[in-house]
Structure 1
Amino acid sequence: MKPTKTKAQVRKEIGNQVRDFLAEGGKVEQLQPGVSGRDINQALPVTFNQPKVKRTPLLEEIKALDARKGKHQPKVLAPKKPVKKLLHDDFGEPVRWVWLED
């Protein structure tokens, strides 16, 4: 498994990329807070102009899955084992162990 980068490593990489960009003559523009990259009256892009895509019917596969579900035997639960519990007196001192069956 590939080790994931820590936040400090990612932060260092981004800092190096910005430093290299500025060293090559790049320039960073400062914008006012709240300024957007799109015009206010411009509509958001809509992707409903695409032709309708034919879908693959899965009814047979769903029926096959449901049929396989019914073939499983119900799980038999093992009887619960007694639990050992320590009893304390009114002052919190241990008194004795008891076995509880639920």
Structure 2
Amino acid sequence: MNKRPTKAETRQQLESKIEEFIQQGGEIKSVESGASGLEDGNYNRNSFVFGYPKEERTPTTKEMAAIDARRRAKTVSKPSHSFSRKPKKKIIYDDFGEPVREVWVEE
């Protein structure tokens, strides 16, 4: 397994490359913050997506509908039980929240 260089090692490599560049007669220019990312005073939007123009998206509504249909076909509905469920008591309220009557409902 290869060992990754540490931050200190990477920093040392960069410093040595900069020193070598300067010794060979290279010159470092100062640039304003954010100026290098501007083209004619605006950001180049294509550079944010690796230089490619915006692509059209492929509509997938038919494919999604087919997937949903297959998923619904796989789900098995619960079998109805032969025993009857017990009725539950439901309270009917009036407009003011007062109980009016009780009703037994089979659900």
Which protein has greater RCO, CA pairs closer than 8 Å, 6+ apart? 1
Question: Could you say which TM-score interval applies, normalised by the shorter chain?
Answer: 0.3 to 0.5
TM-score (norm 1): 0.41
Structure with max Cα Rg = 2
